[in-house]
Copies of this chain bind each other. A is one copy, B any other.
């Protein structure tokens, strides 16, 4: 991978990296499309990173449909797929970790101890191995975008980190590899996530600026759905992930599945914008 990337740089090309854990969906493919438009060579990495899964999380059952992933990437004519195995990325004597403070200290960082350290470590490795000039992440994982931007700047990586819009199904559900875990009833319940964000955006558009009332309304919409247990629902700044701010972020559990979503309530909700 490194030799190829080096060749490309010598040829004056720019390299766009789309880091993924596979199980590709329309969200990933939208990142590929943006990378395609902005850089001359597009690399997609596929690696289910054990370091970013906590004990009891879904590392083992995380979907790994390698053949269909590769078919989608062939179809999209990406220039390279970087698919290292565990032993390559984490040899037994590896002992280095990248720790980001700031935006890792709240919400997902509290709920999933070690998660962002795992993300930061693997992202550093992927950035370096692919000689990426730009890297593309989905805004669905908004806190991850903030952490990776912080990391890329702090370590003088020179990598421009782009957070790209969340892709949603027609009914508003943010696409996610983990949606595959949902039963039909659970999927119906999951619409309360985008529903609560849409409601908050409408309140904001109607003049509501009180974060407490916006948060309460979001929690109310979520709580109305018996299958949903709220991990958190808050309004934060998109860089620091602390209040005050207009980015509504939420995490819930539905059955055994944990889902997250977010939306800047000061802007129209996507599904409404499209209609």
Determine how close the nearest CB of chain B comes to the CB of A159; give it in whole angstroms.
Answer: 9
Q: Kindly supply a per-residue 1/0 record for chain A positions 27-53, scoring 1 wherever the CB is within 8 Å of any chain B CB and 0 otherwise.
A: 000000000000000000000000000
Q: Does A275 contact B (CB under 8 A)?
A: no
Closest residue of chain B to A105, judged by CB?
A: B95
Q: Does A12 contact B (CB under 8 A)?
A: yes
The contact of A102 among B9, B93, B150, by CB within 8 Å, is B93
Q: Does A128 contact B (CB under 8 A)?
A: yes
Q: Does A99 contact B (CB under 8 A)?
A: yes
Closest residue of chain B to A126, judged by CB?
A: B156
Closest residue of chain B to A11, judged by CB?
A: B10
Instruction: Enumerate chain B residues within 8 angstroms of A6, measured Cβ to Cβ.
Output: 9
Within 8 A of B (CB), among A95-128: 95-102, 120-121, 124-126, 128
Q: Kindly supply a per-residue 1/0 record for chain A positions 1-25, scoring 1 wherever the CB is within 8 Å of any chain B CB and 0 otherwise.
A: 0100010011010000000000000
Q: Known contacts A10-B9, A12-B10; decide if A96 and B151 are in contact (CB<8 Å).
A: yes
* Contact across chains for B158 and A129 when beta carbons are under 8 A apart: yes
Instruction: Enumerate chain B residues within 8 angstroms of A157, measured Cβ to Cβ.
Output: 128
Q: Does A210 contact B (CB under 8 A)?
A: no
Q: Does A171 contact B (CB under 8 A)?
A: no
* Contact across chains for B101 and A155 when beta carbons are under 8 A apart: no
Dominant secondary structure at the A interface: helix
Q: Known contacts A102-B95, A150-B96; decide if A124 and B2 are in contact (CB<8 Å).
A: no
Closest residue of chain B to A1, judged by CB?
A: B156
The contact of A120 among B96, B100, B120, B154, by CB within 8 Å, is B96
Within 8 A of B (CB), among A67-96: 89, 93-96
The contact of A94 among B94, B97, B154, by CB within 8 Å, is B154
Closest residue of chain B to A103, judged by CB?
A: B95
Bound-complex Cα distance A153 to B89 (A): 10
Instruction: Enumerate chain B residues within 8 angstroms of A128, measured Cβ to Cβ.
Output: 128, 155-158
* Contact across chains for B150 and A95 when beta carbons are under 8 A apart: yes
Determine how close the nearest CB of chain B comes to the CB of A242; give it in whole angstroms.
Answer: 13
Bound-complex Cα distance A12 to B157 (A): 21
Give the top 4 A-B pairs by smallest Cβ distance, nearest first: A95-B101, A96-B154, A95-B102, A129-B156
Q: Given contacts A10-B10, A99-B99, A126-B156, could you give 18 more A-B pairs where the C-beta distance is less than 8 Å?
A: A2-B158, A6-B9, A10-B12, A93-B102, A93-B150, A94-B154, A95-B100, A95-B150, A96-B98, A96-B101, A97-B99, A97-B101, A98-B98, A98-B155, A124-B124, A128-B128, A128-B155, A128-B157
